[in-house]
Amino acid sequence: MPLPYELQVGWRYTRAGRGGRRNRFISFISGASIIGIALGVAALIIVLSVMNGFQRDVRDRMLNVIAHVELLDYAGQALPDWHATAAKARQNPEVVGAAPFIATQSLIARGEDMRGAVVRGISPADEAQVTTLGAQLKDGAYARLVPGGWNIVLGAELARQLNVREGDKITVVAPGGQVTPAGVVPRLKSFTVVGTFSAGHYEYDSGLALIHVDDAAKLYRTQGPTGVQLRLRDVHEARRVAAELAQAMGPEILVRDWTRSNAIWYDAVQVEKRMMSIVLTLIVVVAAFNLVSTLVMTVTDKQSDIAILRTLGASPRSIMGIFIVQGAVAGVIGTLSGVGLGLLVAFNIDVIVPFIERVLNVSFLPGSIYLINHMPSDPQRGDIVPIAVVSLILAFLATLYPSWRASRVQPAEALRYE
């Protein structure tokens, strides 16, 4: 079945490179427009994939230490029955693990060195259900966190700052104090360092210490756990599940998911990703403008052809369709080429970047400076599909004015000097 002549002529104009220097120049400009669209689409996919990769790696390291959702008493007191709270939370099908905890900002001192840190009381037997760090250290330092042992596990950077190692004694200074005839005296307790952990995230490696939840309850006088940590089946559903749990748990329980606990980082990443998408989309917009100029030049060059088609009975709508096809073909080829190139680079960036580093003898991400010493990549359908759709829409919109202009060509005027 033969194709409509609009498609045939439009495709011929797209690939035309013969018939003189002018035609070859127009064909070159058309090719440059296609390459511009492809490079713009590829750049968008590669940059957003790398940003997704960084976000994933930092998030995973963060979630090695913290839970997906926390349930806390609004008054900051101990939960009446943390087992009942956890059981009620587990009724939500997305919740797959629960563990009690107490978290309080304290001072940790050794000699004249003193650092502020969050001291978290945990139950080693339950912690592995909610954090992967607990599972990794289950048979190591966590096993030595026993009730009444007054042992502590420090973040690796915190231990380095305090210059302590396993077996050393440190002092934890609890907030508040106790009233004595001599005045308010701070509550101090000596702990033995039984190990360190390295989550790969500076904030937690330098500002977190772990003790047994029973020791924490005695030190901070809470009479029991003040919250329950939850692990979800899908970390991306944390906000939705937190909203559902807030309704189910009642007004006396504060529900906080990890995106709100780390709102500054999470919002900064989202804003940065959104702004980068807008900036890189301008590359595709520029390529679309190039497509407009290409089609305008083609219309000017092909006026005699348009006039002949009009005298043979072609309608203005058909003429308009020819140049819409030409622009749409360029947009489709450029978009598909860009998607293919972008995915090729995004899926092989772990090979491409080390090769460039070896050739140039440089290191883009020194491990001594950055949290991550490699270039991660995580292409996501939710980014790629909108990029392709926007590129195709821009290419289609770029065809409207030149096509309309072609449909307005008058045969008598165009053939007057032929």
pLDDT value at 93 more than 80:
yes
Are both 246 and 394 inside the same structural domain? no
Segment 308-339, tens digit of pLDDT: 776 777 777 777 777 777 778 888 888 999 99
Are 75 and 213 found together in one domain?
A: yes
Read off the pLDDT of each residue in 384-409 and give the average, rounded to a whole number: 83
Say whether both 272 and 365 belong to one domain.
yes
What pLDDT is stored for residue 2 in this prediction? Answer: 44
Q: Are residues 315 and 282 in the same domain?
A: yes
CB 399 within 8 A of CB 319: no
Q: Are residues 101 and 247 in the same domain?
A: yes
Identify the residue with better confidence: 315 or 244: 244
**Which range has the worst mean pLDDT, 136-140, 203-207, 322-326?**
136-140
Contact between 31 and 351 under an 8 Å Cβ cutoff? The reply is: no
Query: In the numeric block, which tokens belong to residue 198?
Result: 């390295």
In this structure, the answer to whether residues 246 and 391 fall within a common structural domain is no
Q: How confident is the model at residue 412 (pLDDT cuts 50, 70, 90)?
A: low
**SS3 category, 122:** strand
* Distance between CA atoms of residues 102 and 93, nearest Å: 25
Quick one: which of 153, 150, 158 has its CA closest to 136? Answer: 153
Last residue of a domain, one of 232, 260, 288: 260
Instruction: Give yes or no for residue 265 having a pLDDT over 70.
Output: yes
DSSP string across 306-371? HHHHHHTT--HHHHHHHHHHHHHHHHHHHHHHHHHHHHHHHHTHHHHHHHHHHHHT--SS-TTTSS
At 148, is the secondary structure helix, strand, or coil?
Answer: coil
Is the domain of 323 the same as that of 295? yes
Which pLDDT does position 24 carry in this prediction?
60
pLDDT at residue number 6: 58
pTM (predicted TM-score):
0.72
Quote the domain boundaries for residue 138. 67-260
Model confidence band, residue 370 (pLDDT cutoffs 50, 70, 90) = low
Q: How confident is the model at residue 413 (pLDDT cuts 50, 70, 90)?
A: low
Region 281-289 average pLDDT: 79
Task: Look at residues 45, 40, 37 and name the one whose alpha carbon lies nearest to residue 346.
Answer: 45
CA–CA distance, 43 with 135 (Å, rounded to integer): 39
212 has pLDDT over 50 = yes
Q: CB–CB of 240/257 below 8 Å?
A: no
Q: Out of 102-106, 156-160, 357-361, 390-394, which region has the weakest mean confidence (pLDDT)?
A: 357-361
CA distances from 407 to 194, 290, 323, 395, 401 (A): 82, 20, 9, 19, 10
Q: Clarify whether residues 40 and 177 are in a common domain.
A: no
Do 194 and 239 fall into the same domain? Answer: yes
Which pLDDT score, from 0 to 100, does residue 330 have?
Answer: 82
Give the mean pLDDT of 397-403.
82
d(CA 406, CA 301): 11
Coil, strand or helix at 79: coil
Counting residues of the chain whose pLDDT is more than 70, the rounded percentage is 83
Mean per-residue pLDDT of the chain: 80
- Residue 186 in this model has a pLDDT that exceeds 80: no
Q: Could you give the angle at the alpha carbon of 294 between the alpha carbons of 43 and 2, nearest 5°?
A: 95
Kindly state the average pLDDT of the residues 185-190.
80
What residues contact residue 361 under an 8 Å CB cut-off, 6+ apart? Answer: none
- Please give the tally of structural domains in the chain: 2
Domain stop point among 238, 260, 282: 260
127 plus 199 within the same structural domain: yes
Q: pLDDT digit string (tens) for 143-159?
A: 788 888 899 999 888 99
Q: Are residues 321 and 399 in the same domain?
A: yes
Please report, in angstroms and rounded to a whole number, the separation of the first and last CA atoms in the chain: 35
Q: Is the dihedral of CA 330, 331, 332, 337 positive or negative?
A: positive
| Residue that is last in its domain, among 242, 260, 278 | 260
Both 299 and 347 in one domain: the answer is yes
Q: Which residues of 272-297 are buried (b: 16+ CB within 10 A; e: fewer)?
A: ebeeebeebbebbeebbebbbebbeb
* Cα 129 off chain centre by: 25
C-alpha 247/C-alpha 239 separation (Å) is 13
